[in-house]
Amino acid sequence: METGLLAQDLALQQQYPEISIINDMPSMRVTSFWAFGESPESDGEANIREWAERRGLLSSTWKPRIFGCDYPAFFARRRGYEYWLTIPDDFVFEADDICVDKTLPGGMYALISFEFAIVDMGDFISRLFGAMESFASWCRESGYGFAFHQYLEEMLPAEAGSGMQRMNCYFPIGLDASTKEPAVVELPRLKVAVFHENNRDFIASEQAWELYRSWSEMSGDSHRHRLFQVQDSLNKMYVGPSEILVSDPPAGADLTGLEIKELAGRRYLRFLTHFKLGTSELEQNCYRAYMEGAYERRDGQLVIEYEGLNDDLGDRMRYWLYYPLA
């Protein structure tokens, strides 16, 4: 049971009875396990639970909470999912542990909890997307805005024999909707490897992601390389041909078989948005102003930069939108 809930406007509470506001969720020490594949949720949960059982973290004296989030969230065929299991402050890791020590930042959240049939994936997806739509609609009416601390999913223990499971979704919020104002920036010229995404089967995205990870490990600097998507449409929800770019090949990298080009430097209107949480009022207003000529817009491509990939524990579903300027 969450504490520190804020009272809402009565009319809003009646319209959105499923939403509660957590004023300040405390930070938590967690252990992290990351899985990547076609079923990362089940694979990751099995691994972190087996590890926690072996390390005595599932005993009657310690009742851990298990959170998770898509990471990376933009591949369809193979995806990543990271699990975080709460651990005691005095827990000591061993050298061969498969999990790592992290701190899960707290913050202000909108909480939506829902039940779904365990054996019905369609029911789960429908209810999860319904929660996201409800949250986005609530944001537009409540005065709260999307924030950019970590979005969380928490699967709660199923009641024996019920056939139902409950999930808590923690949506990050802030009192001012303009937590990340748009800015005019200069994107420098960058040497990039190019992957062509033609059929939205996400094969090129996976290849780019693997190269991004490989170059980060090779250079020893996880913040040096950047991952972009470039598309002709200025609509971020566009589905069609695009290019996936990985920047700055490290010295000594084998470029055989890679298409290498230079991404031209240019001025852009840039702002931060969410992958899962729909379109905020701020983003809608920025896009409308841009399209109506409030900025010196020019013909060009929309550039999307995936953000949070190298953070120790940042929001793994955010990205920057770059709209071309004259």
Q: Average pLDDT for residues 171-187, to the nearest whole number?
A: 73
Q: Average pLDDT for residues 284-297, to the nearest whole number?
A: 76
Sign (positive/negative) of CA torsion 125, 127, 128, 130?
positive
> Biggest alpha carbon distance in the chain?
63
Q: How confident is the model at residue 178 (pLDDT cuts 50, 70, 90)?
A: very low
* Structure-block tokens of residue 108: 């202000």
% of the chain residues with pLDDT over 70: 85
% of the chain residues with pLDDT over 90: 28
Q: Average pLDDT for residues 16-30, to the nearest whole number?
A: 92
- Domains of the chain as residue ranges with CATH: 5-174 (3.20.80.10), 183-324 (3.20.80.10)
pLDDT of residue 169: 93
pLDDT digits (tens, 9 = 90+) for 128-142: 888 988 887 888 788
Residue 81 φ/ψ, nearest 5 degrees: -145, 130
* Structure-block tokens of residue 228: 């972009």
Q: Average pLDDT for residues 74-95, to the nearest whole number?
A: 82
- What pTM was estimated for this model as a whole? 0.72
Cα–Cα distance for residue pair 125/199, rounded to 1 Å? 23
Amino acid present at 203: I
Kindly tell me if the per-residue pLDDT of 39 is higher than 60: yes
